[in-house]
A = this chain, B = another copy of it.
């Protein structure tokens, strides 16, 4: 019985009530879980491993999570919420629509880079969730896509970009960002993260900019010196 029967999807309750402790413990356990799930996958990670990594007992885990599936659900939510939280943070103060779009893509890629394994985890393991919970994750993804969607729409509505199939293009943006994690083995050593992004923008943003948009972009570049430089050494991929 216990937690299982009561928990409605997404509303996973724990047996512990002190809400501060709850958050702390859950975070502690989820960080361990995300790390291990990312490295080894869901099925090959055992509860005992998570307990050890988190520095708690096996039994404790079941006081904060209903079952293993629950841990996965919340692990994936944790990752997706990071996107939703961090992208807006990086957009703060950025006014120009084109700049906002580019910055959003850049920010997305930066987070993907930081959470590379966790991003792969989301692709691998969403289907390991029970069906009802899977859609919760989909909703979460739709929400984070909306961030890019809004930036793109603003650009088009402001006349900075020509009319395109927004819906599809947003997904291209999303796939582009995810690809940095999914196909990292193919890019690693050929492109630095910032090269990846700036080259990507040339393919997925620039071609759709109107004259007005292009003007804005060049002003932007003159002022901001493009993107922050990343440390990683890299061999520039040949354009030709």
In A116-147, the 8 Å CB interface with B consists of 120, 123-125, 127-128, 138, 142
Binary flags per residue of A191-235, CB closer than 8 Å to B gives 1, else 0: 100001001101110011000000000000000000000000000
Decide: A168 near B237, CB < 8 A? Known: A123-B182, A124-B124, A127-B41: yes
In the assembled complex, A64 has its CB within 8 A of some CB on chain B: no
A13 contacts which of B43, B46, B202, B207 (Cβ < 8 Å)? B46
**Interface status of A14 (Cβ within 8 A of chain B):** yes
A186-B163 contact, Cβ under 8 Å, with A13-B46, A49-B13, A207-B207: no
Q: Which positions 151-207 of chain A face chain B at CB distance < 8 Å? A: 163-169, 171-172, 175-176, 178-179, 182-183, 185-187, 190-191, 196, 199-200, 202-204, 207
A43 to B199, CA, bound (A): 38
Size bracket of the A interface: 35 or more
Q: Given A41-B127, A124-B124, decide whether A168 and B200 contact each other with a Cβ distance below 8 A.
A: yes
Within the assembled complex, what's the spacing in Å between the Cα atoms of A25 and B182? 34
Q: Which residues of the partner chain B approach A240 to less than 8 Å between Cβ atoms?
A: 163, 166
Which single residue of chain B is at the shortest CB-CB distance from A168?
Answer: B199
| From B14, B127, B185, contact of A48 by CB (8 A) | B14
A19 in the interface (beta carbon within 8 A): no
- Cβ–Cβ < 8 Å partners of A49 in chain B: 13
Q: How far is the CA of A43 from the CA of B185 in the complex (A)?
A: 24
In the complex, residue of chain B having the shortest beta-carbon distance to the beta carbon of A175: B175
Contacts of A178 in B (CB 8 A): 175
24 A-B pairs (CB sep. < 8 Å): A14-B48, A14-B58, A41-B128, A43-B43, A43-B44, A43-B128, A123-B123, A142-B186, A163-B239, A165-B199, A165-B203, A166-B239, A167-B190, A168-B196, A168-B199, A168-B237, A169-B203, A171-B187, A172-B172, A172-B175, A175-B175, A175-B179, A175-B182, A175-B183
Please list the 10 inter-chain residue pairs (A to B) with the smallest Cβ-Cβ separation, ordered nearest first: A207-B207, A43-B43, A13-B48, A175-B175, A165-B199, A165-B239, A124-B124, A167-B237, A175-B179, A14-B48
